[in-house]
């Protein structure tokens, strides 16, 4: 009988790849995460009394009687972002953590809250800042790593967009982390959030299109019968 050998990797083990359908499903979740987050967040920003988009970060929407909406929004969109590289997964996990640990009420929201930051922050407010900060750091690093990969593969446009997103988000996060509630800082960070979700959706769409291509067929090397 003929002996059939299949192409193997350098270690001599058969090459295996994750199911393409599962990968494309995860990437589809990544595409949907941003529009969902922005739609839910800005609907609340427009409808909830006392919220000032020029001075309130979207995270404070997790306070008040309807705070559960933004909490759910953060956890759900974070879960939808658990795809791709480890860094993007850490960003998604950071969003989940930011939803579990809500930000402190501040700067007049919810209604009745004194202006400015609270005199003493709570434990859940501190953990919100830490989990979100870790997630944002991973997002910035993910932008830089994927930028290099896109450049290496010849996709200079997406490489440049990835790098620009990481640099701009870093600058915006540094501003909001300073504690400033000025309109320039808050609106700048809000714009960076929109930019980041746009980048994630475009990147996931690009990767999903690549995974749509049929996998290569392993080479078969047959030897004549003895």
101 assigned to some structural domain: yes
32 found inside a domain: yes
10-46 pLDDT, tens digit per residue, is 444 444 455 678 888 999 999 999 999 999 999 999 9
Q: Is residue 6, in this structure, part of any structural domain at all? A: no
Residue 11 located in a structural domain? no
Q: Which residues contact 49 (CB under 8 A, 6 or more apart)?
A: 111
Parent domain of 149: 19-113+121-212
pLDDT score at 225: 52
3-state SS assignment for residue 122? coil
Please state the domain count of the chain. 1
pLDDT band at residue 212, thresholds of 50, 70 and 90?
A: low
Write down the residue that tokens 């791709």 correspond to. Answer: 84
Q: How confident is the model at residue 179 (pLDDT cuts 50, 70, 90)?
A: confident
Following CA atoms 7, 9, 12, 17 in sequence, which dihedral angle do they give, to the nearest 10 degrees? -90
pLDDT in tens, 102-112: 999 998 999 98
Give a yes or no: residue 49 inside a domain.
yes
What does the pLDDT read at residue 120? 85
pLDDT of residue 78: 97
Residue 222 lies in a domain: no
Cis check: omega of the bond before 110, within 30 degrees of 0: yes
pTM of the model: 0.83
Q: Would 219 be classed as within a structural domain?
A: no
Report how far residue 3's alpha carbon sits from residue 226's, in angstroms, rounded to the nearest whole number: 10
Q: Tell me, what's the pLDDT at 23?
A: 86
């Amino acid at each position: 009988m003929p002996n059939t050998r299949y192409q193997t990797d350098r270690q001599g083990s058969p090459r295996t790849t994750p199911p393409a359908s599962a990968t494309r499903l995860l990437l589809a979740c990544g595409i949907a995460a941003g529009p969902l987050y922005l739609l839910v967040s800005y609907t609340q920003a427009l409808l909830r009394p006392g919220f000032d988009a020029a001075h309130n970060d979207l995270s404070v929407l997790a306070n008040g009687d309807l705070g559960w909406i933004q909490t759910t929004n953060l956890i759900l969109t974070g879960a939808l972002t658990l795809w791709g590289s480890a860094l993007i997964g850490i960003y998604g996990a950071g969003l989940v953590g930011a939803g579990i640990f809500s930000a402190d009420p501040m700067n007049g929201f919810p209604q009745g809250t004194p202006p400015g930051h609270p005199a003493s922050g709570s434990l859940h407010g501190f953990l919100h800042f830490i989990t979100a900060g870790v997630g944002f750091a991973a997002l910035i690093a993910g932008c830089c790593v994927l930028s290099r990969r896109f450049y290496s593969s010849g996709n200079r446009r997406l490489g440049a967009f990835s790098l620009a997103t990481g640099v701009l988000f870093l600058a915006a996060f540094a501003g909001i982390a300073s504690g400033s509630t000025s309109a320039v800082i808050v609106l700048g960070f809000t714009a960076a959030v929109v930019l980041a979700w746009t980048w994630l959706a475009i990147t996931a769409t690009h990767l999903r299109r690549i995974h749509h291509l049929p996998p290569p067929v392993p080479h078969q090397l047959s030897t004549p019968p003895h």
